[in-house]
Amino acid sequence: MAEYQALYDAILNGDEALAVQITNEALARGADPSELITRGMIPAMDEVGRLFEAQEFYVPELLLAGRAMKASLEPLRPLLAASGAQPTGRVVLGTVKGDLHDIGKNLVGSMLEGAGFEVHDIGIDVPPAKFVDAVRSHTPHILALSALLTVTMPEMKKVIEALIQSGIRGQVKVLIGGAPVTRQFADQIGADGYGDNASSAVTVARSLLGQ
Amino acid sequence: MGGIPVLHAEGDCIARGWENSLIELHRNGCDVRTQYDKPDDPPSKDCTMILTITDPLCEPMIHKDFPGGPEQLQEYVMEVCEGIKDHLIRNPEDPADTRWEYTYHRRLFVYDIPGLGPFDQIETMCRKLAEVPHTRRAQAVTWKVWEDNDCFDPPCLQSLWARMLEEDGGWVLSLNARFRSNDAYKAAFMNIFALAQLQTKMGERISEISGKAVRVGRYCHIADSYHIYGSSFREFEGRFLGALQKRTFEQRTMRYEAVKGMMEAARPAILEKASRTGRR
């Protein structure tokens, strides 16, 4: 029990080295990897998200917590794979074509990973065809699109159209976000969800999967 | 006084100076509605700001309320000082190319004029200052009259000006940076941090050329329009102003020396990412 709390605190404080040390020591003592995630890591990242949403945490604190979570997850990955454990969901994430911004996308990726999602970040300036390829190869539950510029927002619609033309629109939920993006725009282009910040993106992603 | 207010702020370190400038802007700035605010947003707060950081290398250098983490800050420093994203500048002949109009590095270090140049303005500044420390002519500009008057996104930083003074038997390098426009809440901290790093590198270069020790002196940040967008207001009032009440200055800031190792370790990944980004 104490190790879950220690891991929770280390992640909340963004202390990567300590989070990894606690994880490794817990594993050496025979701790269940799934329990470390569900009782230490995910609650910590949920609290990080809550504090960020309540405007009591800064962006660097959110990113450092995500970094600590990711690093402490590393030693668990082979054990989880061997046990057949499934992630919360699978997400392909990218910034649309013509847009070179990635901080918002990275924040969303970090928060989704913190919530137990398997995230495939395919980068920035991503053309519609590459999103289609990524949906085919990774078979995600959610495709998350980011845009920071008003001039690149229409690319989001092009990605959805490309999914339709490829006959795979029904296989994936589309979640969009970025500074100029609004819920109304999401509705207009036929996206399934809209997140107005990194933390709410997690909430929307969970709801899209019925969680 | 009529018109846009001229406000002053000062701090011993970057984090405190930037924080003081936002408090002053929020308190005494004027309300201006801009095309960037959404219909339901309040008007932007705006002023002309003259912000002095008396010791840019004094800790804590990093304020935590910026839109990134230590690695993103390192990436921005490398973008400004080393030009890792110069290849992301758009082709001006291609209207469909939505990449960047400029990078500060390209404008400062590789300022090119059709039929002339390119000019490394920073190296020229360093050489001038090494030769005649009190010169008033060591400056670099970014504006390209033939492009920027009509382009979609012209540079915000307009010029750098530097001078050296002899103090206590050694040389001290001062830097002024002038912005025509500066998003005070979302951009200014990262701008100042990167330009203070550039000031440090310039000091090292001048020292290399002249053979004399050069110390980093005060940094002066001048912004003609220093503003907080209406769209940022809810976050600014909640996160930034809220933290002034709830957290100590130490809790609102980070020491650069505490994250410098992490930032330096990120270099290879940043370079790799930059090199595969935005190629046409």
What digits encode the pLDDT tens for the residues B179-205?
999 999 999 999 999 999 999 999 999
Whether residue B98 and residue A64 make contact (CB cut-off 8 A), yes or no, is no
Angle at A129 between CA A127 and CA A134, to 5 degrees: 100
Residue B177 lies in a domain: yes
Please tell me the predicted confidence (pLDDT) of residue A200: 86
Distance of residue A170 Cα from the nearest chain B Cα, in angstroms: 30
Model confidence at A196, pLDDT cuts 50, 70, 90, reads confident
Residue of B nearest to A13 (CA): B251
Asked whether this chain's domains A2-83 and A90-208 adopt the same fold, the reply is: no
Which of A63, A106, A152 lies closest to B98 in CB terms?
Answer: A152
Whether residue B98 and residue A123 make contact (CB cut-off 8 A), yes or no, is no
Q: Most A CBs within 10 Å: which of B62, B75, B185, B239, as the mutation test of the A interface? A: B239
Kindly state the helix (H) or strand (E) to which residue B65 belongs, with its residue range.
none
Residue type, B16: R
Question: Which phi and psi (to 5°) does residue B172 adopt?
Answer: -120, 125
Residue B174 lies in a domain: yes
Whether residue B277 and residue A60 make contact (CB cut-off 8 A), yes or no, is no
Min mean pLDDT across A100-104, B6-10, B50-54, B211-215 is at A100-104
CA A27 centroid distance within chain: 25
Q: Is B36 left (phi over 0), alpha (psi -120 to 50) or beta?
A: alpha
Say whether residue A210 is in contact with chain B using an 8 A CB cutoff: no
Question: What ipTM does this complex have?
Answer: 0.91
Mean pLDDT calculated for residue range B82-96: 88
How does A16-54 read in b/e, with b if 16+ C-beta sit within 10 Å? bebbbebbeebbeeebebeebbebbbbbbbbebbebbee
Whether residue A123 and residue B69 make contact (CB cut-off 8 A), yes or no, is no
Mean pLDDT calculated for residue range A102-131: 89
Residue B42 lies in a domain: no
Whether residue B98 and residue A149 make contact (CB cut-off 8 A), yes or no, is yes
Residue of A nearest to B252 (CA): A58
The closest alpha carbon to B51, from B161, B241, B165, B179, belongs to B179
Which of A55, A103, A182 lies closest to B235 in CB terms?
Answer: A55
The closest alpha carbon to B18, from B180, B255, B191, B231, belongs to B191
Model confidence at B34, pLDDT cuts 50, 70, 90, reads confident
Compare B243 and A34 and report the one with higher pLDDT: B243
CB distance B89 to B106 below 8 Å = yes
Beta strands in chain B (DSSP E): 6-11, 30-32, 44-53, 62-63, 111-113, 116-119, 139-141, 157-167, 170-183, 214-228, 253-254
Residues of B in contact with A99 (CB under 8 A): 98
> Is residue B37 pLDDT above 70, yes or no?
yes
Residue B33 lies in a domain: no
Distance of residue B178 Cα from the nearest chain A Cα, in angstroms: 25
Say whether residue B255 is in contact with chain A using an 8 A CB cutoff: no
Please tell me the predicted confidence (pLDDT) of residue B168: 87
Which of A63, A98, A106 lies closest to B98 in CB terms?
Answer: A98
- Fold category of A90-208 in CATH: Rossmann fold (3.40.50)
Extract the tokens encoding A206: 């969970």
Neighbours of A101 (CB within 10 A): 17
Mean pLDDT calculated for residue range B269-275: 91
Say whether residue A55 is in contact with chain B using an 8 A CB cutoff: yes
Instruction: Residue B181: give its domain's CATH number.
Output: 3.30.572.10
How do A90-95 and A142-146 pair as beta strands?
A: parallel
Say whether residue B70 is in contact with chain A using an 8 A CB cutoff: yes
Kindly state the helix (H) or strand (E) to which residue A91 belongs, with its residue range.
strand A90-95
Cα(A68)–Cα(A52) distance, integer angstroms: 16
Whether residue A179 and residue B231 make contact (CB cut-off 8 A), yes or no, is yes
Task: Express each pLDDT in A51-64 by its tens digit.
Answer: 998 999 999 999 99
Please tell me the predicted confidence (pLDDT) of residue A6: 96
> Is residue B103 pLDDT above 80, yes or no?
yes
Distance of residue A78 Cα from the nearest chain B Cα, in angstroms: 24
> Is residue B277 pLDDT above 80, yes or no?
no
Residue B264 lies in a domain: yes
Mean pLDDT calculated for residue range B261-266: 96
Q: Is A97 left (phi over 0), alpha (psi -120 to 50) or beta?
A: beta
Indicate the average pLDDT of chain A: 91
Please tell me the predicted confidence (pLDDT) of residue A101: 81
Whether residue B65 and residue A59 make contact (CB cut-off 8 A), yes or no, is yes
Question: What is the residue extent of each domain of chain A?
Answer: 2-83, 90-208
Neighbours of A156 (CB within 10 A): 27
> Is residue B226 pLDDT above 80, yes or no?
yes
Query: What is the pTM for the complete model shown?
Result: 0.89
Residue B214 lies in a domain: yes
Which of B69, B238, B252 lies closest to A55 in CB terms?
Answer: B238
How does B227-242 read in b/e, with b if 16+ C-beta sit within 10 Å? bbbbbbbebbeebbee
Percent of chain A at pLDDT above 90?
63
Q: What is the largest CA-CA distance in chain A?
A: 54
Q: Say which CATH superfamily domain A2-83 falls into.
A: Methionine synthase domain (1.10.1240.10)
Q: Which residue has the tokens 């050694």?
A: B170
Task: Express each pLDDT in A60-106 by its tens digit.
Answer: 999 999 999 989 988 988 888 787 777 889 999 999 998 888 888 98
Please tell me the predicted confidence (pLDDT) of residue B268: 97
> Which structural domain, as residue segments, surrounds residue B56?
50-225+243-275
Cα(A78)–Cα(A69) distance, integer angstroms: 16
Kindly state the helix (H) or strand (E) to which residue B184 belongs, with its residue range.
none
Extract the tokens encoding A111: 């928060």
Q: What is the DSSP letter of A170?
A: G
Compare A41 and A2 and report the one with higher pLDDT: A41
Report the domain count for chain B.
1
Instruction: With H, G, I as helix, E, B as strand and everything else as coil, classify residue B49.
Output: strand
Q: What is the DSSP letter of B54?
A: S
Instruction: With H, G, I as helix, E, B as strand and everything else as coil, classify residue A180.
Output: coil
Percent of chain B at pLDDT above 90?
83
Percent of chain A at pLDDT above 70?
100
Whether residue B254 and residue A98 make contact (CB cut-off 8 A), yes or no, is no
Model confidence at B279, pLDDT cuts 50, 70, 90, reads low
